[in-house]
Amino acid sequence: MVLGFIGLLGGLGLLIYLTMRGMNLLIVAPISALFVTLLNGLPLFPQLADEGAANFLTNYMSGFSGFIASWYLMFLTGAIFGKVMEDSGAAESISKWIVGKIGMKRAALAIVIACAVLTYGGVSLFVVAFSVYPMAVSLFKEANLPRRFIPAALAFGSTTFTMTSAGSPEIQNWIPIEFLGTNAYAGWEVSLIVAIFMMVFGYWWLKKAIQNAVNNGEEFIQRDSDHFEVRSHLPNPLVSMIPLLVVLGVSFIFHDSLKQSALIIALTGGIIATYLINRKYFSNVGKAISEGTIGAIIAIANTSAVVGFGGVVKATPAFQEAVSFMTDIPGSPLIGGVLAVAVIAGLTGSASGGQAIALPLLAPHYLDLGVDPEALHRVVSIASGSLDSLPSGGYVVTTIRSIAGETHKDAYPMFGALTVIVPTIGTILAVILFSIGL
C-alpha cells in the first residue's frame, strides 16, 4: 500500500513537472497515469485483467471519453457563445464600458470585473480568457504594468468568486445538482459572503503584488505578436448584456426540471440572442462559430486528459484508502467532503473533473449521514476550485501558455496564489459558516 501511495503522489508530481517543462497534456496525462498504474500493480490492458477488473487502458479511456460524453455540448455552446460575443464586439463593448466606469489606473480590476461579468453570464472559462486577453494586453500596455500578471487577473475573475458561486451557470456549480438533488442556488447566503471575501482579499493581493513589481522596476514588454486593433463601431454595452441575462434567466427557469441540461438551452439562447441583437456588428459569424468549436474541443480535450488520469487514480487501492481516510475524519462531515473533492480535483487537475469523480462516491455516503445537501453542494463546489489550479491543470496550462504566451516560472506564482490559496481560505470560511448554522 505504501508503494501505491508513492505511485499516486509520484504520478501527480510527474504530471506537474512535465507540464511545467512544456509538454502537451494529451501526452503528459497518460504517461503520468501509466506511472500510477505500474506502482499500484494494475494490469495495462483489459486482456491482461479479469473480466470487468480495473486496468490502465480501460480506466483511462473511460474517464477521458466519459467526461466528453457528459459535458461536450456544454463546452461547445459555451465556447460558441463566447466567440459570437467576441466577434460581434459585445464582449469588447462590455469590457470597455466597465473600464470607463472604473478608470485606466485600475486596469487589473477592470480585467477582473470583465471576466467576472462574462463568467457569471455563462461564457466558458476558457473562452473568457481568450476573449478578454486582447483587452488585457492593451490595458496593461497603456498602464505600463508587467504583463506576467495578466493570466492571474484573467483566472481570478473567472475561476474564484464567480465560477463556484451560487447561481453561476458554470458547470462547476452544476455538477453537484445531479448527485445531491439541489439547484444552482444552493447555500446562496454563505456563497455570497464567501464570494465577497474572495473578491476583496484576492484583488488586494493582486494589486499589492503588481505594485511591488512596478516599484522594483518591472514594466510592460511589448512583443512582435501583439496586435492593438481598434474597432470603430461597437454595439451598445448595456444592450450587449442582454444575452448574458438570457443565459442566466433561462438557466434559472429550467434548472429544476432539466438540471445541468438547462445550461445547454441557456447557452444556445444566449447565442441566438447575441446574433439577433448584434447581427449587424458581426465581422464573420461563421468563422466565430468554427473557432468556438475548435476552442471547445481543445478545452475539453485538455480537461478530459487529466480526468482520464483521475480515472486510473480512482481505480487504485491506494485511492480508495485515501478516500476512506478523508471521509472518516472526525468532526463536521463537510470537512471530509471538502478534503476529498479538493484532493481529487488536484489529482485530476480539473474542478469539474474532480467533482465528476468524487461525487458519485461521496454523495450517497454523506446524504446517508444526514448532511445538508445544500451545504455540501456549496462547499464541494468552492473546494473543487482550489487544488484544481495546480500547475498541471488544463485551464492553467491553456491560460498561461496558449493564451498569454508566458512561462509557468513568471506567471504561476501569482496565478497559484489567487486560484489555489484564496479559494482554499474561502472553502474554510464556508465550512465554518455552515457549521455555525448560517
Residue type, 84: V
**Which pLDDT score, from 0 to 100, does residue 195 have?**
95
Residue 161 in contact with residue 116, Cβ under 8 Å?
yes
pLDDT at 227: 55
Q: How many Å apart are CA 16 and CA 9, to the nearest integer?
A: 11
Backbone torsion region of residue 326, taken as left when φ is above 0, otherwise alpha when ψ lies between -120 and 50, otherwise beta:
alpha
Residues 237-270, buried b or exposed e (16+ Cβ, 10 A)?
beebbbbbebbbebbbebbeeebbebbbbbbbbb
- Under 8 Å between Cβ of 161 and 424: no
Q: Grid coordinates representing 138?
A: 492593451
118 within 8 A of 244, measured Cβ to Cβ: yes
Determine how many CB atoms are found less than 10 A away from the CB of residue 294.
12
DSSP class of residue 164 equals T
Question: Between helices 56-87 and 351-368, what is the axis angle to 10°?
Answer: 120
Name residue 368's amino acid: D
CA angle 82, 192, 106 (to 5 degrees): 60
Q: What pLDDT, on a 0 to 100 scale, did the predictor assign at position 104?
A: 66
pTM above 0.85? no
Amino acid at 171: I
pLDDT at position 260: 65
Whether 363 and 326 have beta carbons less than 8 Å apart is answered as no
Domain ranges of the chain: 2-45+52-217+234-435
Amino acid letter, 82: G
Per the document, the length of the chain is: 438
> Please, are residues 342 and 425 in contact by the beta-carbon 8 Å criterion?
no
SS3 278: helix
* CA 294, chain centre distance (Å): 18
Give the residue from 149, 167, 273 showing the smallest Cα distance to 218. 149
- Angle of CA points 194, 196, 197, to nearest 5°: 65
**How far apart (Å, rounded) are the C-alpha atoms in residues 353 and 76?**
17
- Quick check: 15 and 349 in contact, CB under 8 A? yes
As averages over each run of 10 residues, the pLDDT of the chain (438 residues) reads 86 87 87 94 88 89 89 84 84 77 80 86 74 78 88 94 88 89 91 96 96 93 67 85 85 73 86 92 88 84 83 86 74 82 80 81 85 93 91 82 84 95 96 88
